[in-house]
Amino acid sequence: MSEEHKQPLQSSLRVQELIYGLRISEVMTSKVFAVSRNCTMRDVQTIMKNNSITGVPVVDSKRVVGIVTMNDLMNALEQGAMEQNVTRWMVGEVQTLAEDMPLSFAISAFGKFSFRQFPVVNKKNELTGILTFRNINHALIRELSRQLRQMEQQSEQPVEPASLNLSKVYQLHRYDFENGGKASSEIKKFLKERGVPPKLVRRVAVASYELEINLVAHSIGGMLGFDINENRVKISSHDRGPGIEDTEKALTQGYSTANEWIRSQGFGAGMGLPNVKRVSDEFAIESAVGMGTMVQSIIYLKSEKENENQ
Amino acid sequence: MELQRIAYALDAELICGPDDWEKINIETVFASDLMSDVLMSDRDEMLMVTSLSTEQSIRSAGIVGSEAIVIANDKTVTEGMIELAKDQDIALFCTRHPKFESCVRLGRIMEV
Ligand SMILES: Nc1ncnc2c1ncn2[C@@H]1O[C@H](COP(=O)(O)OP(=O)(O)O)[C@@H](O)[C@H]1O
Ligand SMILES: [Mg+2]
């Protein structure tokens, strides 16, 4: 199981991590062109042409009930049915995305389904935007230039050796148990050398270690990012599948879907996520089946009082 | 209790360890083959006894502050494990006794 995995450049991993962590709502196009059930295919054609778009959602009191794509339009055109109702030609079962999902889930969705756009909905299931691959490319370029700017600034001002500031991303591969744990070892060392109290170092190590192992044991692979300053350590785990059906259940002690082989490695007691939650000051998990899982753990390095006084 | 006495009671063989390992003081012991159980502990577990002979055992022991680890059941210890143990200044032993027997022997010489 020990294939050699080369770690990509830190800067490219960081851009990827930043992209993964963005919310869909931050990236999508909010100005959506939608039609209602009683519109015609001709109406859709006009909208597509005037705005150079390739998909138009069909809504009924803000709920998405279908989508008309370029393909549907061509079919209607071929049949000379442009004056017919959109409901005759639209695709009825639409895969939507939730606006507060991390972008990594959307990237998985693009990979999994062959759609060119996804309608985006809010908690009330109302249409709030549309996400195309172009949106993702724009976000990528934005983050790339931000990263470059940051690197330029950093090279101008040398970092103090004792500084607690660090941002680092590790890539983890499925079933690569040999490397699972390297990230937490390195971070542990980093914090210890800078005089962070052992109790806090231990909490960071436990959280990151369990998350690393989960990426290796349960995901198709993913990344673990650390964002450290003198106030807190922020650990984020991103992967793009297979996702967790019931995150509530996954957080109960003893719940595990680990197979025999994972168990033979000493894992699969179902205590990992509960452990992460226990040692975290702030904890969040989000998951969607087929799209991925994101876990975030924040551990304060200063007591909350000190944080407030700043 | 000095680590030397523990090693003797377990018929444990030292694989690697810091120069003065004999004098390391051991007050707490944790025995498990489940890594998350180890990581759930709140106190410093100075000695870890496990029959799981993997690099992850050494990593887990390191996280909970172990100064020594005994691999039970005559399991083979890999190069990677030795390296990790050295890196974290952990004394690494192995013993031919199974985990339960090792714990019984420990119980005889230590008050639990
Ligand atoms: N990154 C992930 N991707 C998919 N499923 C996950 C992920 N992390 C955790 N899980 C699911 O949650 C369950 C509980 O995780 P955890 O508490 O760490 O226990 P364990 O790893 O011992 O199974 C796992 O068995 C798995 O089904
Ligand atoms: Mg786990």
A244 lines ligand 1 (CB under 6 A): yes
**Residues A235 and A283 grouped into a single domain:** yes
A266 to B56: CB separation less than 8 angstroms, yes or no:
yes
**Residues A172 and A299 grouped into a single domain:** yes
Q: What is the pLDDT of residue B1?
A: 94
pLDDT, mean of residues B91-111: 96
Instruction: Tell me which ligand sits closest to the C-alpha of residue A293.
Output: 1
A53 lines ligand 1 (CB under 6 A): no
B57 to A205: CB separation less than 8 angstroms, yes or no:
no
Q: What is the pLDDT of residue A1?
A: 47
- Residue A9: pLDDT band with limits 50, 70, 90: confident
User: Does A307 have pLDDT greater than 60?
Assistant: no
- Residue B112: pLDDT band with limits 50, 70, 90: low
Residue numbers in B near A275 (CB within 8 A):
36, 39-40
- Strand B68-71 relative to strand A127-132, pairing: unpaired
User: Does A156 have pLDDT greater than 90?
Assistant: no
Ion ligand 2: residues, CB within 5 A, are A 214, 272
Strand ranges of the sheet holding B47-50, from the earlier edge strand across to the other edge: B13-16, B91-94, B68-71, B47-50, B29-31
Burial label, A114 (beta-carbon count in 10 A; 0-12, 13-18, 19+)? exposed
- Residue A242: pLDDT band with limits 50, 70, 90: very high
Ligand 1 atom showing the smallest separation from residue A271 Cα: 17
For A154, residues 6+ apart whose C-beta sits below 8 A from its C-beta are: none
Instruction: Lowest mean pLDDT of A147-156, A253-262, B37-46, name the range.
Output: A147-156
A215 lines ligand 1 (CB under 6 A): yes
For A84, residues 6+ apart whose C-beta sits below 8 A from its C-beta are: A40, A41, A76
User: Does A2 have pLDDT greater than 50?
Assistant: no
A136 within 8 A of A106, measured Cβ to Cβ: yes
Mean pLDDT of chain B: 95
**Residues A166 and A84 grouped into a single domain:** no
Domains annotated on chain B, with CATH: 3-110 (3.40.1390.20)
- B75 interfacial to chain A (CB closer than 8 Å): no
Give whole-number Cα distances, A182 to A27, B59, B78, in Å. 33, 9, 17
A250 within 8 A of A189, measured Cβ to Cβ: no
- A272 interfacial to chain B (CB closer than 8 Å): yes
**Residues A166 and A131 grouped into a single domain:** no
- Residue A143: pLDDT band with limits 50, 70, 90: confident
Please provide the distance, in angstroms rounded to a whole number, between the alpha carbons at the two ends of chain A.
48
| pTM metric for this prediction | 0.87
Residue A5 lies in a domain: no
Which of B32, B34, B37, B39 to probe by mutation at the A interface, max A CB count within 10 Å? B39
Domain boundary among A120, A136, A152: A136
- Using one digit for the tens of pLDDT, what is the confidence trace for A55-113? 999 999 999 999 999 999 999 999 999 999 999 999 999 999 999 999 999 999 999 88
Residue A259 lies in a domain: yes
ipTM of predicted assembly, 2 dp? 0.91
Ligand 1 centroid from CA A298, angstroms: 19
A184 to B57: CB separation less than 8 angstroms, yes or no:
no
Residue A83: CATH number of its domain? 3.10.580.10
Give whole-number Cα distances, A238 to A214, A220, A294, B25, B110, in Å. 11, 11, 5, 41, 45
**Residues A128 and A169 grouped into a single domain:** no
The Cβ of residue A137 has, within 10 Å, a number of other Cβ atoms equal to 10
- Residue A114: pLDDT band with limits 50, 70, 90: confident
Distance (Å) from the C-alpha of residue A190 to the closest C-alpha of chain B? 13
- B39 interfacial to chain A (CB closer than 8 Å): yes
B37 to A272: CB separation less than 8 angstroms, yes or no:
no
- A193 interfacial to chain B (CB closer than 8 Å): no
pLDDT, mean of residues B18-28: 95
User: Does A310 have pLDDT greater than 50?
Assistant: no
Instruction: Lowest mean pLDDT of A5-19, A254-268, B24-38, name the range.
Output: A5-19
The Cβ of residue B5 has, within 10 Å, a number of other Cβ atoms equal to 13
pLDDT, mean of residues B57-78: 95
Ligand 2 centroid from CA A215, angstroms: 8
**Residues A108 and A15 grouped into a single domain:** yes
Domain extent, residue A93, equals 10-136
For A119-129, b/e burial (b = at least 16 CB within 10 A) is bbbeeeeebbb
DSSP H helices in A79-174: 86-89, 103-112, 133-156
Question: Which helix (H) or strand (E) covers residue A287, if one does?
Answer: strand A282-288
**Residues A121 and A244 grouped into a single domain:** no
**Residues A205 and A67 grouped into a single domain:** no
Compute CA A178 distance to the chain's CA centroid, rounded to the nearest angstrom. Answer: 25
Helices and strands (DSSP H and E) totals, chain A: 13, 11
For residue A32, report the phi and psi dihedrals to the nearest 5 degrees.
-100, 140
**Residues A238 and A200 grouped into a single domain:** yes
Q: CA B83 to CA A76: how far, in whole Å?
A: 68
- Residue A257: pLDDT band with limits 50, 70, 90: very high
Q: What is the pLDDT of residue A3?
A: 54
Residue A152 lies in a domain: no
Tokens of residue A261, six digits = 């082989």
- Count of domains in chain A? 2
